[in-house]
Amino acid sequence: FEDMMMRTPHIAQRLLEMTLDELDAAREWMLVLGRKTAREKIASLLSIIARRDATLNLAGVEGPLEFDLPLTREAMADYLGLTLETVSRQVNALKRDGVIDLVGKRHVIVPDFDRLSEEAGDDSDGGMLS
C-alpha cells in the first residue's frame, strides 16, 4: 500500500481529502447530537442530506433544492436520539414556517438553503454561530 502511495501521489492526495471530509462530517455530527435543540437537529440532518445530494448531483446550493429522504421519520428519530412524535412535530413546524416543503412523506423541497442553515444553527457558509 505504501509503495502504491509513493508511485501514485494523486491517490494519496485523494485519500487525504476523503479522510478530512470524513473527519469534518464526524465533527459536525457530534455537534448535532450534543448541543442542538430538536428543531436544530432536524434542520441539521436535512441540511446535511441536501448538501450531499447537491454534491452528488453536481449542483450548487443556490435556488430550491429537492431530494428524497433516505430515512423514515422513525429512523430519523433513532438516528438523532429523539422520539418519533418530536421528529414529526418538528418536520411539520419547519413545513408550516416555510423552511421546507414536503411532497408526500419523503420528498423534500428546500426553497432557501440559507434559511435552513439558520434553522440548523449554522451560518450560510456552514460554520457554527457563536
- pLDDT tens digit string along 30-50? 666 677 899 999 999 999 889
Q: Looking at the structure, tell me whether residues 94 and 110 fall in a common domain.
A: yes
Phi, psi dihedrals of residue 108, rounded to the nearest 5°: -110, 135
Q: Looking at the structure, tell me whether residues 88 and 55 fall in a common domain.
A: yes
Would you say residue 7 lies in a domain?
A: yes
Q: What is the pLDDT of residue 123?
A: 55
Span between the terminal Cα atoms of the chain, in Å: 42
> Between 69 and 27, where is the model more confident?
69
Q: Looking at the structure, tell me whether residues 58 and 6 fall in a common domain.
A: no
Q: State the average pLDDT over residues 3-11.
A: 84
Q: What is the pLDDT of residue 35?
A: 78
The label of the residue with cell 446550493 reads 61
Would you say residue 130 lies in a domain?
A: no
- In 3-state terms, what secondary structure has residue 52? helix
What mean pLDDT value characterizes the chain?
Answer: 84
Between CA 69 and CA 86 the distance in angstroms is 17
Q: Looking at the structure, tell me whether residues 49 and 101 fall in a common domain.
A: yes
Question: pTM above 0.75?
Answer: no
Asked if the model's pLDDT at residue 124 lies above 60, the reply is: no
Which amino acid belongs to residue 115?
Answer: R
User: pLDDT tens digits, residue range 88-120?
Assistant: 999 999 999 999 999 998 999 999 999 999 999
Would you say residue 44 lies in a domain?
A: yes
Q: Looking at the structure, tell me whether residues 22 and 51 fall in a common domain.
A: no
Would you say residue 101 lies in a domain?
A: yes
- Find the range with the poorest average confidence among 1-5, 18-22, 126-130: 126-130
* Half-sphere exposure (Cβ direction) of 35: Cα atoms closer than 13 Å: 11
Please give the radius of gyration of the chain, using alpha carbons only, rounded to the nearest integer. Answer: 17
Would you say residue 116 lies in a domain?
A: yes
Q: Looking at the structure, tell me whether residues 64 and 6 fall in a common domain.
A: no
Asked if 116 and 99 touch (Cβ cutoff 8 Å), the reply is yes
Q: Looking at the structure, tell me whether residues 73 and 28 fall in a common domain.
A: no
CB atoms within 10 A of CB 102: 14
Number of domains the chain contains: 2
Asked if 129 and 120 touch (Cβ cutoff 8 Å), the reply is no
Provide the pLDDT confidence category of residue 59 given band limits of 50, 70 and 90: low
Q: Which domain holds residue 47?
A: 37-125
